[in-house]
Structure 1
Amino acid sequence: MDETNLKQRNLETIKTESDAKVTEPKNVALQKQVGLISGISLIVGTMIGSGIFISPKSVLSNTGAVGPCLIIWTACGILATVGALCYVDLGTMITQSGGEYSYLLEAFGPILAFLYSWMSIIVVKPSSFAIICLSFAEYAAAPFYPGCVPPQIVIKCLAAVAIILITLVNALSVKLANYVQNFLTVAKLLIVAVIIVAGLVLLAQGNTQNFKNSFDGSQTSFGSIGLAFYNGLWAYDGWNQLNFITEELKNPYRDLPLSIIIGIPLVTICYILINIAYFTVMTPTELLQSPAVAVTFGDRVLTPVSWIVPLFVVFSTFGAANGSCFTAGRLTFVTAREGHMIKLLSYINIRRLTPSPALLFNGLLAIIYIIPADINTLINYFSFASWIFYGLTTFSLIVMRFTRKDLKRPVKIPIIFPIIITIIAVYLVLAPIIDSPDWAYLYCTLFIVGGLIFYVLFVYFHFSWTRRIMRPITMYVQLLMEVGPSENEK
């Protein structure tokens, strides 16, 4: 009987321990939930968004002819690939999320990293989110206003709804955001395939008249080529997105390089073939006059089912906005975790394990940026600021080859790659200023440098009165949103 009781007690103990394991909560930290397929989807889904449906006009207007236009698109793809290889080196060497912020912090210290986060979190990331959602709204509203341009108030309201919906999806669940991203990536690849196949068929039928004398009337000024690159690279923007979520990759040493090696060349080939398809049915003048290039292409080539083009472009832009929101939230989260933003933004939802305060902050700023809503100005402003820090980031790779020889480097690219990207970044920053000076570039520079004031006041001196103000706000937000500091909090 004693032996029976002993066995019974042992069984109860085992059951209790098993139940404890089942009910044990997950760590309050970002989880490794992004695999190779989701990584490729994030890169392709973020890159193929609004850019290929907006930028063809801007690239053509700054190059003046079909030949140099196609060369710019090809060069942008090569540049994005080389830049991404530099980021593979950095991302496998420094496996923290946050992208450029983490690399600048490691190479140059907190001041430059803060200035990057200041510019990116306040301007670059939310303005990018706003641009993509405005493009989504333009294509979504177009079928309801045949023959005329949709009213700006309608476009802005639709863009705001898209921002709110995407932010909520990302705040609710990482898996849900990944499922949405994967589905929309497949959808956008379908419309890309339709446009490419239709273009190749027309090309095979002899529609090559727009490719004859393709360099006549081309513009080769220092500044115009720089602006053409700005708009082309805007379409390729997203090649660095996976570096913002390195901590959430299941196997960063494999998934980061493979996602980039597969994703970016695929996007480059698609972009070149899409532009060729556009020129098989539209002259350069017609393309420049088109309010929506992809829709015009569909109206002329896919007449019975031309409605599928705006529908799938809506899917495409929505997917790109989802990817932009996903990574922007991680940048804000990592920056706040390091103490360079208010700590509240580094908190994680204890149930859903998402950085919901950071995501909501990015969404709120994006809604503010849709109010002025001049897409071309936003793109130039965005590109100028971005390439300042892209250049500094690739330069950090060169610096760390000499100053941080102790760091493990699973992927080590030839040093000539970051040298090339750094030189091109300097050109892209200076070319538009030299050729066509604009106050916007000065304002952008002053805004970046002005971040030093906030760094000194709120980071370096860390005034106690700011903590007293934020303490009750943080407490109420924690209760309302069910958020708390992560286990990796600095």
Structure 2
Amino acid sequence: MGEENLRKRKGEDNRKEDGQSIENDELKTMNLQKEAKLVSPPPSIGTCMIVGTIIGSGIFVSPKSVLANVGAVGPCLTIWAACGLLATLGALCFAELGTTIPKSGGEYPYLMEAFGPIPAFLFSWTSLLVTKPSSFAIICLSFAEYAAAPFYPGCDPPLVVIKCLAAAAIVIITVVNSLSVKLGRYLQNFLTAAKMIIVTIIIVSGIVLLAQGKTENFKDSFKDSKISLSSISLAFYNGLWAYDGWNQLNYITEELKNPYRNLPLSIIIGIPLVTVCYVLINVSYFTVMTSTELLQSQAAAVTFGDRVLYPASWIVPLFVAFSTIGSANGTCFTAGRLVYVAGREGHMLKVLSYVSVKRLTPAPAIIFYGAITIIYIFPGDIDTLINYFSFAVWIFYGLTVFALIVMRFTRRELRRPIRIPIVIPIIVTLVSVLLVLAPIITAPEMAYLYCALFILSGFIFYVLFVHFKFNWAQKISKPITTHLQMLLEVVPAEEVIE
């Protein structure tokens, strides 16, 4: 009996200790939750991230091309506002997709869920060989134009100079991101600050000039406009290039407190804010330049600085160059990771998924991306590359938004924390179809044919190397992988982790 009583007492003591420990664990959990709530980023962080992601080189390059396609101030400003509206609607569609299918990889998982592996692979293929390198090339060519402009006052810089400067920028950015992740991030932070400074300077200067009565260039603003389906589509191509990045906004979900509410709120606030900035920058240009003068200017922001900020006009090309090189650096950082994932998944050479032993960077992927970009630099100019890029990217934007409509009927069981009215993806899909088909029908160019051939070649690659997995391909790639591994001192990522 004594032993039994002793056991009971010990049991009661253990239960008390267990109960106390459970209570202590619950208290700790509650405290951690409270601390997490205190340190969670406010909704404004999402808006800042949207503004910082979208504003880049496009606003310093596209105004001239948008104006060239529509011919007058009024339609030009209308196009900029309409592009902002389309970007907002598209971002809301991607917000639903991103919270319904919370997987990384951009459009890839959405296309995979809706249509299967072939469209998903073609997206990955097109991103690797068409959209990402051409985007990087456009930004670096933009940097070169603004960097060279002060040295050739009154005339256009030689094409050879621009292309060599762009190639040098690609090499430098590729080397920086291959050597150090931290160095790339520090460079990005500095260049982002420079970008916001120059945007603020141009907008404030424009507002001051408007207040002083500089409004003569806005009279009869729709006169001499040339409106057609082709011109509007090409103007949208150039305007939407400046808004590119709206499709990545769902990646900020994990950074937001209460993302299912604050993500759409950040989109509704952030992209219209960018739209206002873009319209105001264009208004600032038109306060000091007529339509003809803007079209004749090699670099609109430089001309604006020469007329408004003299003798401090050197600030404009310097900070615009910082802004564009910052966009290029950010593009290289993210696209290099896309190449790395493609190599890991077997969609590209395996060596592209290796990392540097000493620096822990995906050096082969970044170098490959930089090499492909340099190929785009020499035969193409900015306008041709923008059309080439936009044609490809809007095929997959439209297809991805159409996937949202399809899954509303085929995947009803999926939980949709954010559910937008179905009329929005229908509008975005129809506009995407118009953007893709209108230039081909009304103003066909070789750039569209080359782009279509690149995309279709991905289907051949998929059948041969991914679907059938031919052994001879592995035999060819093995010695290449071995030599590159020794040259670059890289190994599979899992070996570095171990």
TM over 0.5: yes
Q: 1:292 to 1:373 in 2, by over 3 A?
A: same
Q: What's the offset of the Cα at 1:313?
A: 0.4
Instruction: Give distance in 2, aligned partners of 1:158 and 1:455.
Output: 36
Partners of 2:149 and 2:299 within 8 A in 1: no
Question: How much is the aligned-residue C-alpha RMSD, in angstroms?
Answer: 2.7
Counterpart position of 1:132 = 139
Partners of 2:43 and 2:257 within 8 A in 1: no
Q: What's the offset of the Cα at 1:158?
A: 1.6
Q: 1:482 aligned to 2:478?
A: no
Structure 1, unmatched stretches of 5+, are 1-33
Partners of 1:336 and 1:342 within 8 A in 2: yes
Q: 1:218 to 1:153 in 2, by over 3 A?
A: closer
Counterpart position of 1:324 = 331
Counterpart position of 2:160 = 153
Secondary structure in 2 aligned to 1:424? helix
Q: What's the offset of the Cα at 1:372?
A: 1.3
Secondary structure in 1 aligned to 2:94? helix
Q: 1:331 to 1:227 in 2, by over 3 A?
A: same
1:284 to 278, 287, 291: 291
Q: Which moved more, 1:156-165 or 1:409-418?
A: 409-418
Q: List aligned pairs for 1:400-419, cutoff 5 A.
A: 400-419=407-426
Q: Which moved more, 1:298-307 or 1:322-331?
A: 322-331
Q: List aligned pairs for 1:13-412, cutoff 5 A.
A: 43-242=50-249, 254=259, 260-261=267-268, 263-349=270-356, 352-412=359-419
Partners of 1:171 and 1:355 within 8 A in 2: yes
Instruction: Give distance in 1, aligned partners of 2:404 and 2:186.
Output: 34
Instruction: Give distance in 2, aligned partners of 1:412 and 1:464.
Output: 46
Secondary structure in 2 aligned to 1:483? strand
Counterpart position of 2:9 = none
Q: What's the offset of the Cα at 1:101?
A: 2.1
Partners of 1:478 and 1:484 within 8 A in 2: no
Flag the structure with larger Rg. 2
Instruction: Give distance in 2, aligned partners of 1:129 and 1:36.
Output: 30
Q: What's the offset of the Cα at 1:35?
A: 12
Partners of 1:45 and 1:320 within 8 A in 2: no
Secondary structure in 1 aligned to 2:414? coil
Aligned residue identity for 1:84: A
Q: 1:462 aligned to 2:469?
A: yes
Partners of 1:43 and 1:264 within 8 A in 2: yes
Counterpart position of 1:473 = 480
Partners of 2:149 and 2:298 within 8 A in 1: no
Q: What's the offset of the Cα at 1:179?
A: 3.2
State TM-score, norm by structure 2.
0.84
Instruction: Give distance in 2, aligned partners of 1:340 and 1:186.
Output: 37
Q: How many residues align?
A: 453
Q: What's the offset of the Cα at 1:472?
A: 3.0
Q: What's the offset of the Cα at 1:449?
A: 1.9
Q: What's the offset of the Cα at 1:40?
A: 6.4
Partners of 1:41 and 1:185 within 8 A in 2: no
Partners of 1:52 and 1:235 within 8 A in 2: yes
Structure 2, unmatched stretches of 5+, are 1-40
Q: What's the offset of the Cα at 1:238?
A: 1.9
Q: What's the offset of the Cα at 1:388?
A: 0.7
- CA deviations on 1:341-384 (whole Å, 9 max, x unpaired) are 22222334456554332222111111111111311111111111
Partners of 2:352 and 2:364 within 8 A in 1: yes
